[in-house]
Chains A and B, each alone.
Chain A
Amino acid sequence: MKNNIKEMIKSLNGCAADRPVNIMEVCGTHTMSISRHGIRQVIPEKTSLISGPGCPVCVTSANDIDIMLEIIDSYDVTVFTFGDMLRVPGTRSSLYAKKSEGRDINICYSPADALDFAVKNPDRKVIFIAIGFETTIPLTSVILKRAYQMKTGNFYIYNTHKLIPEALEALISDKQVKIDAFLCPGHVSAIIGSRPYDFIAKNYNIPCVISGFEAHDILESIIMIFDQIKKDEPDVEIQYSRVVREEGNPEAVKSIYEVFKKVDSCWRGLGIIKGSGLRLKKKFLKFDAKINFPVKKVISRELPGCECGEILKGLKKPYECRLFSKVCKPENPIGPCMVSSEGSCAAYYKYEKERL
């Protein structure tokens, strides 16, 4: 393996374009892996790896957090969510602070845990905060279908699910953002396959490679990108072929659209992106927490000084934010990119602050 990797680094530097190349990764696990393996230290000088909006926690809008907090304040509910969501600051508070105050907020690893709890505790109203991209949406769909079949009356989801290809199109269309290639997410693509990215290569001439997460996967993917740039033949290639198929997992995709339909969605830092979110279809609306627990309109504002928005678009590196590692640290996160274990600020802080 070691020799293989050395060869890769050699050929990587041999085949690099002699112009600056910006490669954006759009998956939090890639972001972490790039920092963890120190990949920036071995790629050609003119190549930049920039982190896009690939971490679901990071792109959840402050408004969603604020509405959730308002629901928790107004109703006696039991809330389940994935761990990282707890510490994301809303405008005034966070789920973590509410939990410490004694609210019934729990970490789970799967929506199935939340549904189980609801079934066993029929006197509690249970809300699962559904977060994530195409990787976790099928899980939510399956659980909602199960809840529908079991006629569970005390289970709800607060839906913040988002779709990746639509966000990529929005990024490309943003004139400020300069992207020469995409390192496409491995797990999302395991579900949707490679075809949803075709328009990026065809319409925008931007190379895409779906990559695995190990160091050799990422190096090989970058070599594939260089190759496409050199030949000037933008395409969507699958490096992570041990997991990803061109057609993806049609069953999982089908289950998403049995339960949800596409709507516009607000991304932190990116604003409203057309067709990038999901809402429950009519049949499943009885599980929608926003409908069942109405609250007064919440006014949200971005966190002062926090540049997560620029960082999520790849316009700024985490260390270019004035708050980074001075005020904003993992133990005292100001913005979501530092909160999430998949956020780019957390990745830079954890693995690369020594070099900065």
Chain B
Amino acid sequence: MKKKDYDIRPKLINIMEPEKNKKIFKDKIIQLSHGDGGIKTSELISNLILKYFGNKTLNKLMDSAVIKGSSQKIAFTTDSFVVNPIFFPGGDIGKLAVCGTINDLVTSGCTPSGLSLSFILEEGFAVKDLIKILSSMKKVLKESGAVIVTGDTKVVERGIADKIYINTSGIGFIPDKLDISPCRIKEGDAILLNGDIGEHGAAILGERKEFDFKSDIKSDCAPLSSLVSDIISVSSNIHALRDATRGGLASILFELSEASNTTFEIHEEKIPVKKEVRGICEFLGLDPLYMTNEGKMAVFVDKKDAEAVLNKMKKNKYGKNSRIIGRVSGKNKDKSGRVFLITELGTRRILDLQYSEQLPRIC
């Protein structure tokens, strides 16, 4: 299939002086011409995108954003979002795209500063849906304190993409004295979690037409920047942070155990799972430990600070149901991940990576 790919060159739009020309964006659907670099493109950028994300850096619409630097270490991350459905209880693809990148940044302890934002839009996409997405992005950006500093929009022919794809990248600066990374995890560390797992995965499943059930489950999608700054403010012994997104809590614990050559012991009964999520998982034969989250984070901290960090987390709106779920129980010489789960029966089993996506049961 032929893929038409129109680049918006910011310098073209620069000539248009968008700040002065800002008007109401009148089109109802996205057309190929919104991505061809001409007048329609500049209207989309000036009258819609900048309306939501305009700031001193972005408004210049330079080929590359120029941000004030520092001698600090820089955290840099990128992520693409292709979720279906694009709207779901508790969020939408735009909120996900901002939170995903913010949360990846803050796991290194940095303060997020600048994000890039790229859209790939399908011809015919409803502008009112785009506006809904832009405004929810604006809301979480404001909450997180980050801004969009550069971006790009492409429009592809109908059928080539599925409605809307978003890529966000982000940078942030890390205070010199901070060193948060998996290799700092050590024996004895406490492992904390900021609340109930599996809600994003369950909310998405509930929206898919093939599963005919109604539920009140909302995605936990949230920016965790304030939670991380709270955590850092009470302890200088935070060793590692990781947001538990795709693959769920089990997968990130396994990855961290492998990266740190240590063994973890997790207590199943201490991992909070809402009744509705448990119900859906039982019905479909899925394991909440492997369900996607978009606002949950595992925190590895020296055990002497564990209670202080836990209390601080509980005061944050994204950490009310925080728990200490386990500990780093030993060293692991053979470099493979070892995470043990103490089940509700008091039995012990390993938590492994999954080979493939969880599939609903058929028996």
Contact = CB atoms under 8 A, between A and B. Distances in A.
Interface residues of A, number: 50
Contacts of B352: 350-351
Contact of B363 (A5, A29, A36, A37): A29
Contacts of B360: 109
A38 B342 CA distance: 9
Given A37-B343, A355-B349, 15 more contacts: A28-B361, A28-B363, A37-B344, A38-B348, A56-B363, A82-B359, A82-B362, A112-B210, A132-B362, A135-B363, A136-B362, A219-B345, A331-B355, A342-B285, A354-B349
B210 A39 contact: no
B338 to A, nearest CB: 8
B47 to A, nearest CB: 37
Contacts of B287: 36
B38 to A, nearest CB: 35
A1 B344 CA distance: 9
A41 B348 contact: yes
Interface string A117-140: 000000000000001110110000
Contacts of B346: 6, 9, 42
Contacts of B349: 35-36, 38, 351-352, 354-355
A83 interface: yes
Nearest to B348: A38
A83 B359 contact: yes
27 contacts: A2-B269, A9-B345, A9-B346, A32-B285, A35-B349, A36-B343, A37-B343, A38-B348, A38-B349, A39-B345, A41-B348, A54-B363, A57-B362, A82-B362, A83-B357, A109-B210, A112-B210, A113-B210, A132-B362, A135-B363, A213-B285, A214-B282, A219-B345, A330-B356, A342-B363, A351-B350, A354-B340
Given A84-B359, A342-B361, A354-B350, A215 B344 contact: yes
Interface of A: 1-2, 5-6, 9, 27-29, 32, 35-39, 41-42, 54-57, 82-84, 108-110, 112-113, 131-133, 135-136, 185, 187-188, 213-215, 219, 330-331, 341-342, 350-355
Nearest to A1: B344
A5 B345 contact: yes
A41 B358 CA distance: 25
Contacts of B362: 56-57, 82, 84, 131-132, 135-136, 342
Contacts of B345: 5, 9, 37-39, 41-42, 215, 219
Nearest to B212: A110
A249 to B, nearest CB: 16
Contacts of B347: 37-39, 41-42
A330 B355 CA distance: 6
Interface residues of B, number: 26
B213 interface: no
Given A56-B362, A82-B359, A108 B344 contact: no
B242 to A, nearest CB: 22
B72 to A, nearest CB: 41
A39 B344 CA distance: 10
Contacts of B358: 341
Contacts of A341: 285, 358-359, 361
Nearest to A38: B347
A355 B341 CA distance: 13
A55 B363 CA distance: 7
A288 B253 CA distance: 47
Contacts of B344: 1-2, 5, 37, 215
A108 B210 CA distance: 8
A29 B287 CA distance: 12
Contacts of A32: 285
B275 to A, nearest CB: 12
